[in-house]
Amino acid sequence: MLKTPKIQIMDWPRGKSFSQRQLNSQKMSEPRMSTAICHLLLAGSSAWTCRTLHNAGQIQWAYGTLGLYFAKSVVGILRYGNRYGYEIASLYNFVEMWSIAIGIPFIASDLYFLLHYSYSLSIFHAFLGFVLVAGIVIGTHYMILSYLSLILIGSLLSVVVVGFLNENYWAMAGALSYSVNLYGIKHHGTIGRVPSVDLYTVGLCFFNYFIYKALTDVSIF
């Protein structure tokens, strides 16, 4: 009798792996509407930011970041907004990993482009995002995930540095808030009585605003 293979999902950047069986164990008897509402807020925030940046012009890679945030929000609403949401838990985690992988590198790419640095430097940051995605897809070894985490941290530091050198404090604030959100909030389960996924999702709404301010302030000049 054939056995159904386990689907391995990586809870990156922590590097924790869990199987489809474990995902199904997260079944909820009732929807978690507070989390669904937080994802609805993120969907609206991402759509608004994307439209505003489009009107500002010269934005290239940020669409990828915001598009994945919007996709994560839609899947998140379905994931937490009904009692059968556990059926798409693996899809939700997959989209979330992609949003983490390319989110900061793509923003860094646009910052370097709009600040008139070398175009190859801008493309390099975008390329790092694809490296992270490829590494997540093919790599489940702890050492590989550690290297990927270093790339992500390097991208965050790159945004901080370019923001500091060009007095773009919105970029610095965005990178710092994202770091706190990803490494300090996301993996805590609950903070007080509030699920960390709610706080993390709302934190991404603030990050969208920082993206908007950082990129539009640059594109004005």
Instruction: For residue 4, tell me if it sits in a domain.
Output: no
Which pLDDT tens digit goes with each residue over 138-180? Answer: 765 555 667 778 889 999 999 999 999 999 999 999 999 999 9
Instruction: For residue 21, tell me if it sits in a domain.
Output: yes
Q: Is the pLDDT of residue 13 over 80?
A: no
Q: Which pLDDT band, with edges at 50, 70 and 90, does 205 fall under?
A: very high
Instruction: For residue 73, tell me if it sits in a domain.
Output: yes
The DSSP annotation for 2-23 comes to PPPPPPPEEETTTTEEE-HHHH
Q: Residue 85 and residue 102: Cα distance in Å, rounded?
A: 25
CATH number of the domain at 104, please: 1.20.1070
Q: Which pLDDT band, with edges at 50, 70 and 90, does 137 fall under?
A: confident
Q: What is the pLDDT of residue 203?
A: 94
Instruction: For residue 1, tell me if it sits in a domain.
Output: no
Which pLDDT tens digit goes with each residue over 191-200? Answer: 677 888 999 9
Instruction: For residue 146, tell me if it sits in a domain.
Output: yes
Which pLDDT tens digit goes with each residue over 53-85? Answer: 887 776 789 999 999 999 999 999 999 988 888
Please give the model's pTM, rounded to 2 decimal places. Answer: 0.82
Average pLDDT, the chain: 82
- Split into its structural domains, the chain has a count of 1
Q: Domain range for residue 195?
A: 9-220
What residues pair up with 195 in beta bridges, in sequence order? 190
Q: What is the pLDDT of residue 193?
A: 78
Is the model more confident about 35 or about 8?
A: 35
Instruction: For residue 162, tell me if it sits in a domain.
Output: yes
Q: Strand (E) positions, the chain?
A: 9-11, 16-18, 190-191, 194-195
- Coil/strand/helix, residue 191: strand
